[in-house]
Amino acid sequence: MNKDQISIQLYTAREAAKTDFMGTLAKIAAIGYPAVEFAGLHGHDATKVREQLDKVGLKGASAHVPFARFVDEFDIVMAEMQTLGCEYAVIPWIGPEHRSTVDAARKFADQVGEIGKMVRAAGLGFGYHNHDFEFADIEGTGSRLWDFIFEKEDVDLELDVYWVYYGGADPSKLVAQAPDRYPLLHFKDMQGSGSERRDAPVGKGAIDFGPLLRSSAASTKWYVVEQDNPVDIFADAATSYQGMQALCSS
């Protein structure tokens, strides 16, 4: 990982972004991040957001886009991605209705596969971001949503390191099996144990990122900081940036 590959998922700063999105972008740039991953535009026009990115020196590398928007507003989403300069559009989460049964999970994976073909045809990368439930046994069948999604060759994976560990899998082994499928990785650390586990700034928890960095070195393009529950948004973002810099090879 190099320093120019570090990004931050703006869901981390969602509470600040709700009231001052443009100012939030400026503060993220001031910390030192070279790029961001969007989690919505908070009512702002994509053209205006792109102007702010250019002004403060940020790249809009990728964006989380709700599944329903890919289904209902595909052309609008693609236009937004092009305007923002995003290289990847990513489904960030799905509800239980798409994953509680084997049939629902298969149907969702099939839909995602078709969306992936469409996004790639539009000239962008397409991915799916995991939590822990993708690794759960569905209905006691031994089937996992993760496996159904992985079968779809037009879908890359944005592996969330924290949630993979939380779900009982090893992220470095997953990446080592198919490095080209992981152009984006989410980094947050883990404190506590058992039901008391919680996310933390990078470098302030128990996760050893070394094996994952070795597995991903050849193919991952963006290493994306995310913290679902920061204590202090910008202080924690700065701490994570320092933690990411410490992991950099150059």
Span 106-117, mean pLDDT? Answer: 98
Task: Kindly state the percentage of the chain with pLDDT values over 70.
Answer: 99
For tokens 């099939």, the residue is 110
Contact (CB, 8 A) for 242 and 235: no
Q: Is the pLDDT of residue 249 over 80?
A: no
Predicted local confidence at residue 250, as pLDDT: 46
Predicted local confidence at residue 89, as pLDDT: 98
Contacts of 31 (CB under 8 A, 6+ apart): 234, 237, 238, 241
Domains contained in the chain, number: 1
User: Mean pLDDT across the chain, nearest whole number?
Assistant: 97
At 40-69, the pLDDT tens digits run 999 999 999 999 999 999 999 999 999 999
Domain that holds residue 31: 3-247
pTM over 0.75: yes
Domain CATH code at residue 194: 3.20.20.150
At 114-153, the pLDDT tens digits run 999 999 999 999 999 999 999 999 999 999 999 999 999 9
* Strand pairing class (125-129; 184-187): unpaired
Report how far residue 72's alpha carbon sits from residue 65's, in angstroms, rounded to the nearest whole number.
12
